[in-house]
A and B are shown apart, each in its own frame.
Chain A
Amino acid sequence: MYRYDAIDKDFVADRAAEFREQVARRMAGEITEDQFKPIRLMNGLYLQLHAYMLRIAIPYGTLNSAKLRRLAHIARTYDKGYGHFTTRTNLQLHWIKLKDAPQILDELAEVGMHAMQTSGNCIRNVTADPYAGAAADELDDPRVWAELIRQWSTVHPEFSFLPRKFKIAVTAAAKDRTALRIYDIGLHLRHGREGEPGFEVRVGGGLGRTPHLSPTIREFLPARHLLSYLEAILRVYNRHGRRDNIWKARIKILVASLGAEEFARQVEEEWAKSNPARIDAPEAEVARIRASFAAQLETLPPRSEAVEALMAADPSFARFVKHNTHPHKQPGYAIVDVSLKVPGQTPGDMTDVQMETAADLAERYSQDEIRVNYTQNLILPHVKLDDLPEVWRALDAAGLATPNIDLVSDIIACPGLDYCALANARAIPVAQHIAERFADPARAEAVGELKIKISGCINACGHHHVGHIGILGVDKKGEEFYQITLGGSGEDDAALGSMLGPALPANKVAEAVEQMVEVYLRQRKEGERFLDTFRRTGVAPFKEAVYADAH
């Protein structure tokens, strides 16, 4: 993976030292909370219901064993022995003390980590395909471009005070695994007619109060011009974004109000005025970054007798292989999904001991690489098939081998009102109750692909708008209620969900999901997923099942 050079190291260490001084001044009363708050937020430190929360950046979701071990150490030493992986592939620690925060940032800096740009109206952590460098359907390694964007956007003076926060996703495979269309900018790498790399550029996606899926503003941007074109987009946004109204400040509102065509025209005009040679990265720099991501993969037979034998002997292993492994571009390897979705437990939570187990496995079996997926699971991207039985046993012993990737119990849930100062309702217990109903792996498997996404408020950190079943917590007459949407997707068939009906009380949500699953199982045709059946039948049969009692 990419390693910091001396400049990066000094910068991150200096920033941690600066924060130590700022915290001391705040504790001594030399600066007020109003003065301090923007400073702590620039360093990822929020104040929530029970304690401070530190959101640690994991650039494009890529970790190595040293970094994950350090996160485990911090979780054990300064928190309550666990962390929460988020839909932005960051790690949140929910029990942090202000007085410990400078020490934590120092310890993160030692392994090339920080919490910068995980808050505020700046370019946030860049997202990339979590299977990058491993996926069989990949045209290029998107991390090369994500790292370039990270370097360009880190404390970029022109883009540190945007109208609102700004998120960029990059994918370079046929299949989108980033939820590209809900990003402010979504970059999808393709090959041009001569085989040269370029990006389809989408702008203006986002969820929250006004969800939008991004339109394409340029079909093909030569990859070498990525940074100058991004700068042109950001300049148009910085100039015209609605700073007067926080609910209209995201770029999605600007793109929607101008129309994609007019927005694209303005970007092209801005780009034409710029000097791309000044901004675009030199080829040598791109090559240097690219070299840092090259995995050392061996030539292996495409089939492993050890895997085949254990699959035949142990149905649990067979189920794990079916749901938690994906094809690797190199024969003889697999991509292994590590589920953080044990039914009944908190989606995305991982203990310090589990982090160390995953770090050990990555170091020994996966080229020292671990990825964080926005679905709140981890990935070991480069596991030899022959090592798969051993990796599975170790994951299983650590409670990390639930065979449920993309199934009904693989639920996205934000921290919700159990932790978050913005939430209206809890999200985690709703996820727990639903997953418990589908805890039997055979039942979950029979239901097939079903993506449930839960948010505790309209800010939509749980991506509810793009869930096959989306669940939004609301405060209705002083009680926790939940609005259900159906038919959303964040993937290649992206769509925003449509409302099922009136909001349900908390104790009816899991039951309603079960009722909707029953409708699907009754109505599905050969090969249909839940989403396909819903799109064919429409909302009526689902609505009838859930609200039958009310008639």
Chain B
Amino acid sequence: MRALTGSRLADGEAVFWNAGRWVERFAQAELFDDVAAAEAAEADAKAQLTIVVDPYLIDVVESGEGWVPLSYRERVRALGPTNHPQHGKQAEGGADIEALAQASGAARSTGRLSLIKRK
């Protein structure tokens, strides 16, 4: 399963794709089980030059509480810095944030599928 993410141009916020819109919380991200659909969304996202910077697909995996990004780096992006729990998306709390915070294992330093492929 995959999700599409990027950084919002105006403020650098980590955002996730959902049916042509960008949402801030990973829990609201559209999940793709179809590779072609994911790549089509990525192509659409790359055309949104004034909205998002450098969109890319990431792997997501099922954890006990639901779907989470496979990569530790992507979980940090979806939560905020671990040294300041009051900063970033994690500050808002909620069951989805808790699930991301609890996820562990199988972390890759980069969640970028394209980079992983290149290796």
Q: Residues of A with Cβ closer than 8 Å to B?
A: 26-29, 32-33, 47-52, 80, 94-99, 346, 417-419, 423-426, 428-429, 432, 475, 478-480
Whether A27 contacts B50 by the Cβ 8 Å rule is yes
- Residue from the list B83, B87, B88 in contact with A429, Cβ < 8 A: B83
- Residue from the list A47, A51, A97, A478 in contact with B106, Cβ < 8 A: A478
Q: Kindly list chain B residues whose C-beta atoms are within 8 Å of the C-beta of A95.
A: 87
A28, A97, A346: which has the most chain B beta carbons within 10 Å?
Answer: A97
Chain B residues numbered 1-54 whose CB sits less than 8 Å from any CB in chain A: 7, 9-14, 49-50, 53-54
Q: Kindly list chain A residues whose C-beta atoms are within 8 Å of the C-beta of B106.
A: 478
Whether B107 contacts A29 by the Cβ 8 Å rule is no
Q: Kindly list chain B residues whose C-beta atoms are within 8 Å of the C-beta of A428.
A: 81-83
Whether B7 contacts A47 by the Cβ 8 Å rule is yes
- Quick one: given A50-B80, A50-B81, A418-B81, are A424 and B11 in contact (CB under 8 Å)? no
Q: Can you show 23 pairs from A to B with CB atoms below 8 A apart?
A: A26-B9, A27-B9, A29-B50, A33-B54, A47-B53, A47-B54, A48-B12, A50-B13, A50-B14, A50-B80, A50-B81, A50-B87, A51-B11, A80-B87, A98-B11, A99-B11, A417-B76, A418-B82, A423-B73, A425-B109, A428-B83, A429-B82, A478-B72
Which residue of A is nearest B51, CB measured?
A29
- Residue from the list B88, B108, B109 in contact with A50, Cβ < 8 A: B88
Interface SS, B side: loop
Chain B interface size, as a band, is: 20 to 34
Whether B10 contacts A27 by the Cβ 8 Å rule is yes
Whether B83 contacts A432 by the Cβ 8 Å rule is yes
Complex Cα spacing A429 to B84, Å: 10
Q: Kindly list chain A residues whose C-beta atoms are within 8 Å of the C-beta of B72.
A: 417, 478-480
- Residue from the list A97, A417, A423, A480 in contact with B12, Cβ < 8 A: A97
Complex Cα spacing A425 to B82, Å: 12
Which residue of A is nearest B74, CB measured?
A49
Q: Kindly list chain B residues whose C-beta atoms are within 8 Å of the C-beta of A29.
A: 49-50
Q: Kindly list chain A residues whose C-beta atoms are within 8 Å of the C-beta of B108.
A: 475, 478
Q: Kindly list chain B residues whose C-beta atoms are within 8 Å of the C-beta of A52.
A: 11-12
Q: Kindly list chain A residues whose C-beta atoms are within 8 Å of the C-beta of B87.
A: 50, 80, 95
Q: Kindly list chain B residues whose C-beta atoms are within 8 Å of the C-beta of A480.
A: 72, 107
- Quick one: given A417-B73, A478-B107, are A28 and B13 in contact (CB under 8 Å)? no
Complex Cα spacing A51 to B81, Å: 11
- Residue from the list B10, B12, B82 in contact with A426, Cβ < 8 A: B82
Give 3 closest A-B pairs by Cβ, nearest first.
A475-B109, A418-B81, A97-B11
B105, CB-defined interface residue at 8 Å: yes
B54, B73, B80, B81: which has the most chain A beta carbons within 10 Å?
Answer: B81
- Residue from the list B54, B83, B84, B109 in contact with A424, Cβ < 8 A: B109
Whether A418 contacts B12 by the Cβ 8 Å rule is no
Nearest CB on A from B81, distance (A):
4
- Residue from the list B10, B80, B82 in contact with A99, Cβ < 8 A: B10
Q: Kindly list chain B residues whose C-beta atoms are within 8 Å of the C-beta of A426.
A: 82
Beyond A26-B9, A98-B11, 12 additional contacts (C-beta under 8 Å) are A29-B49, A47-B7, A47-B53, A49-B77, A50-B12, A417-B72, A418-B76, A419-B81, A423-B73, A429-B82, A475-B109, A478-B108
Complex Cα spacing A425 to B73, Å: 8
Complex Cα spacing A32 to B53, Å: 10
Q: Kindly list chain B residues whose C-beta atoms are within 8 Å of the C-beta of A94.
A: 81
Complex Cα spacing A52 to B7, Å: 9
Nearest CB on A from B40, distance (A):
21
Q: Kindly list chain A residues whose C-beta atoms are within 8 Å of the C-beta of B12.
A: 47-48, 50-52, 96-98
Q: Kindly list chain B residues whose C-beta atoms are within 8 Å of the C-beta of A97.
A: 10-12
